[in-house]
Amino acid sequence: MPITTCVFDAYGTLFDVAAAAREAAKEPAFAAIADTWPQLAEHWRLKQLQYSWLRAVTGAHDDFWQVTQEGLDWSLEKLGVADDPALRERLLALYWELQAFAEVPAMLRALKDGGLNTAILSNGSPAMLDGAVQSAGISDLLDVSLSVESVGVFKPHASVYDLVGQHYGCAKGEVLFVSSNGWDAAAATGYGFTTAWVNRGGDPVDRLPWKPAHQLRDLSGIPALAGL
């Protein structure tokens, strides 16, 4: 079945989530993380995801902005800088200004020029996603940002993946789903999407019942996978 619809996870896939810590670390006021910002970024992302999974399985849903703050607070304490409210405030502000990875605009433009649907499907709240899309300057290259807030549970719950068919009226086999999270791409494979895992770090494949159909180092190869 030909691909008609390309759907992207947002954070870590289209948008560089390490950028907030990296940019803050360049500022003289936050020299405390000049050497440890990579660890801060890694802890922050991992806790953000872990808290989303725990909220999903326990039914204790809250929006992704709350989870993002909680993950940051744990990470700051882990690195011994939890007593710097200005650092916390700056990191959270920068999270609303994440830039897209360098290849994203041209990749999305190729998909749109090829007549394909393009969308975000993300744990992010609508406000967060709008901020990221606007900051990255790619709003004209995306049809819609679909947020888990409309179903009240985080990925990889199947009701999140349902949002694509509900919006576009397309069959699962028409969808190429792209994520930088191996577990997300794997779950989407189990759901019935064609999937691509953007494995920028060269990580091992997750030991799950399903595997991503394709594996790439960046997003530049997505138009070819979509048949363009």
Q: Is 9 a catalytic residue?
A: yes
pLDDT tens, residue by residue, 101-135: 999 999 999 999 999 999 999 999 999 999 999 99
Closest CA to 8 of 133, 93, 114, 102: 133
84 pLDDT more than 90: yes
Which is the catalytic residue, given 9, 16, 63, 184? 9
| Phi, psi of 196, rounded to the nearest 5 degrees | -135, 125
**Residue with token string 């950028």:** 19
Predicted local distance difference test score (pLDDT) of residue 1 = 84
Q: Residue range 66-75: average pLDDT?
A: 98
pLDDT tens, residue by residue, 162-178: 999 999 999 999 999 99
DSSP state of 101: P
Q: Residue range 132-142: average pLDDT?
A: 96
Alpha carbons 43 and 36: distance in angstroms, whole number: 11
